[in-house]
Chain A
Amino acid sequence: MKLFIRAIVLVLILFTSAQSRDYIIVQSTTSTANTGLLDVLTESFYEETGIEVRAVAVGTGTAISNAKKGDGDILMVHAKADEIKFVEEGYGVERFDLMYNDFVIVGPKNDPAGISILNNIQDVMKALSSDKYKFISRDDNSGTHKKEILLWKLSNISPEENANYIKTGSGMANTINIASEMNAYVLTDRGTWISFANKKDLQILYEGDEALFNPYGLIAVNPKKFPHVEYEKANQYIEWLIHGNGNRVIENFKIDGQQLFFTYN
């Protein structure tokens, strides 16, 4: 028995001493990861600085809660209100504007709800709240879901009363898949939409409204709250993304010739 315990301790020590923190952990979202942008940024930053970036892509809500537990050095999400709260509550040092694109409302080609001819978001949400048409919600605390809730609020509508309001509780891909199978409407970020390979009969029906603006924020996790974070390296990455070559990498990132994310510089 003693030998066994000693063996386990040895194994544990071997495993843990083999880890060294020459990498930074970024808590980010599926909308940035699934487009392939995060991987490209990671490669580029590593080539320039030799610093490894480990990006964890989960829902925005999960990324924020992970960061609040100290499981990350940087937070990169798209939920401005929550990001500001994150900094105010002392978890983050400062919020920077990283990049933006927009959300689009996607639906069946024939657009039974007729939203493509409307020109303000309130009318669109009102049309979609009718129980004649299905609307698919992610319902997973993601940045997209939070935006969706905001849009309903802006239009003074409570979508829960609609029997055709369907909550998937899952990621963008699964949600879009369900929308295309059910010939329904769904809100998605443009980046995911452009890179999504299974569009079937869906197409963009409403876009360009300023309410659909989708800004991404960048925050370093507060070293005063979590002394173990790689604050220096995190700041290097933030600098690189906003003022350095990272900026260019984001601007040059295209799928099918279309730019997915735009920077402020």
Chain B
Amino acid sequence: MLNYNQVIESIFISLHVSLFSTLLAFITSIILGYWIAINSFQLKKIIVSVLGSLTSIPPVCAGLLVYLLISRSGPLGWMEILYTPTAMIVAQFVIILPIMMTLIIQYVEVEYPPFKEELISYGASKFDLIKLLLKNRSSFYLTILLIGFGRAISEYGAAAIVGGSIDHVTRNMTAMIALETAKGNILTGVILGLILISISLVISFVINFLKAKN
């Protein structure tokens, strides 16, 4: 009844897309988040508020937004990334970036000022401070990675709209669960869901292990 090859493929697609989107969002949120947190400028409060509200963007809306951009009739249609894993990575990136950025900005705004005073008296530059914060508080960043990844791998609406749930190509785990449910194979859907949760558990254990090591 269930094609094991298809299941393995969908697991691979889920991991590939979500790991990529989480990593890209993480790097972007560190760069942009630090910059926003450390500096003060006129629009800062508005930007931080908007970022906060974007954490609750409905995934379907994010998916529609990306779809309108990359559709053939959209401004980025020439890139031809609609119905490819790249589009799914972009959609998930859009969803998890605000979450990661909000967390980092909040954290740095609290950690940075006292840190800064202490170390500037030792002659450290802004860049040195950032490097230190990154190294010493790595458990915090591991947590952000976990939250972002969890959101990305469990998401269905956005990736399905821009990915098209195409067999072998963009049918990730959540799309496969939706398809099996649509075929009436409820039990199969539940089993796939349990597999997905198990994978998340493994990743969570790994992250916590890394945190403990530090």
A11-62 residues with Cβ-Cβ distance < 8 A to B are 11-12, 15-16, 18-19, 21, 25, 30, 33-34, 36, 39, 42, 54-57
The answer for the CA separation of A176 and B31 in the assembled complex, in Å, is 49
Min CB–CB distance B175 → chain A (angstroms): 10
- Pair B165/A56 contact, Cβ less than 8 Å: yes
> Which A residues are CB-close (under 8 A) to B114?
none
Q: Which residue of A lies closest to B77 (CB)?
A: A70
- Pair A30/B31 contact, Cβ less than 8 Å: no
A4 with B31, Cβ < 8 A, contacts A16-B80, A56-B164, A69-B73 known: yes
A19 with B184, Cβ < 8 A, contacts A56-B166, A69-B72, A69-B73 known: no
B43 proximal to A (CB < 8 A): no
The answer for the CA separation of A19 and B165 in the assembled complex, in Å, is 17
- Pair A198/B82 contact, Cβ less than 8 Å: no
- Pair B183/A196 contact, Cβ less than 8 Å: yes
- Pair B86/A195 contact, Cβ less than 8 Å: no
> Which A residues are CB-close (under 8 A) to B83?
25, 54, 56, 71
The answer, among B79, B80, B82, B182, for a CB contact under 8 Å with A34, is B182
- Pair A195/B84 contact, Cβ less than 8 Å: no
Q: Mark A192-222, 1 if CB is under 8 A from B, else 0.
A: 0001111100000000000000000000000
- Pair B72/A197 contact, Cβ less than 8 Å: no
Q: Mark B70-104, 1 if CB is under 8 A from A, else 0.
A: 01111001011111101000000000000000000
A226 proximal to B (CB < 8 A): yes
A172 proximal to B (CB < 8 A): yes
Do most interface residues of chain A lie in helix, strand or loop, or is the interface mixed?
mixed
For chain B, the count of residues having a C-beta within 8 Å of the partner chain is 26
The answer, among B86, B169, B185, for a CB contact under 8 Å with A54, is B169
The answer, among A33, A39, A228, for a CB contact under 8 Å with B72, is A228
The answer for the CA separation of A180 and B151 in the assembled complex, in Å, is 33
The answer, among A19, A70, A226, for a CB contact under 8 Å with B81, is A19
A195 with B80, Cβ < 8 A, contacts A19-B86, A39-B167 known: no
B81-134 residues with Cβ-Cβ distance < 8 A to A are 81-84, 86
A136-158 residues with Cβ-Cβ distance < 8 A to B are none
The answer, among B74, B169, B184, for a CB contact under 8 Å with A173, is B184
A19 with B164, Cβ < 8 A, contacts A71-B71, A173-B184, A197-B184 known: no
- Pair A54/B166 contact, Cβ less than 8 Å: yes
Q: Mark B26-51, 1 if CB is under 8 A from A, else 0.
A: 00000100000000000000000000
- Pair B81/A16 contact, Cβ less than 8 Å: yes
Min CB–CB distance A181 → chain B (angstroms): 12
The answer for the CA separation of A11 and B21 in the assembled complex, in Å, is 12
> Which B residues are CB-close (under 8 A) to A54?
83, 164, 166, 169
Kindly name the residue among B31, B179, B182 whose own CB sees the greatest number of chain A CB atoms within 10 A: B182
Q: Mark B181-193, 1 if CB is under 8 A from A, else 0.
A: 1111110000000
Q: Which residue of A lies closest to B79 (CB)?
A: A16
Q: What are 9 inter-chain pairs, A to B, with CB distance below 8 A?
A: A4-B31, A36-B183, A55-B166, A69-B71, A70-B77, A171-B182, A177-B184, A198-B184, A226-B72
Interface residues of A (CB under 8 A from B): 4, 11-12, 15-16, 18-19, 21, 25, 30, 33-34, 36, 39, 42, 54-57, 66, 69-71, 171-174, 176-177, 195-199, 226, 228
